[in-house]
């Protein structure tokens, strides 16, 4: 009998991992054998997953809540699954999908069914990742079209900006001197000056 491990992944620090942790606790997996990453599933360059991968050995069992917690890249999920199950001899249990339990059905038919389910779910996981990116891009484009500024609001110009800008524009001071008077880096001053100039021409 090998050891039992659990792997948890959430896409960002703002997402809640409690559901996955509760599932692992119900299996009574010892805390030191539970690994968690808080980052995207686009690839397997994740620090905790790498540590887990090094520890896994033949006859160990790895639990994940759902296939998209393992990853979201169709080809990489399949490749990682093959390495873990075929090369390292590890069993994988996807808790939300009983058909994806490599401890059962190790005959040809069981392996065939498991491979089909894995391919479908891997495709769905990546398709969702692509759809999320597309929705984000469409949302940003729609917001820009409505004149909504996304991101941090720009800092207000210093009170002396107009006077300093006029002195710089007329050649009485250099850009570096103007930036110093406004308390900002020269590149920032030039950027702000360009925007200011466009605004005054409207």
Q: Long-range contacts for 107-114 (Cβ within 8 Å, ≥24 apart)?
A: none
170 is catalytic: no
Active site residues: 11
């Amino acid at each position: 009998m090998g050891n039992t491990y659990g792997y948890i992944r959430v896409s960002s620090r703002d997402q809640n991992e409690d559901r996955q942790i509760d599932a692992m606790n119900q299996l009574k997996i010892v805390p030191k054998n539970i690994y968690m990453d808080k980052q995207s599933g686009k690839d397997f360059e994740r620090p905790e997953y790498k540590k887990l991968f090094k520890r896994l050995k033949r006859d160990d069992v790895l639990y994940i809540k759902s296939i998209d917690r393992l990853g979201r890249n169709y080809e990489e999920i399949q490749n990682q699954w093959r390495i873990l199950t075929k090369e390292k001899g590890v069993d994988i249990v996807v808790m939300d999908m009983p058909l994806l339990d490599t401890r059962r059905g190790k005959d040809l038919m069981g392996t065939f069914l498991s491979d089909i389910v894995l391919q479908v779910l891997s495709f769905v996981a990546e398709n969702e990742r692509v759809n999320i990116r597309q929705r984000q891009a469409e949302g940003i484009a729609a917001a820009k079209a409505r004149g909504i500024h996304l991101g941090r609001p720009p800092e207000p110009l210093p009170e002396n900006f107009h006077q300093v800008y006029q002195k710089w524009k007329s050649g009485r001071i250099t850009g570096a001197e103007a930036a110093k008077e406004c308390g900002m880096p020269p590149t920032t001053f030039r950027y702000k000056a360009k925007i200011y100039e466009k605004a005054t021409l409207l």
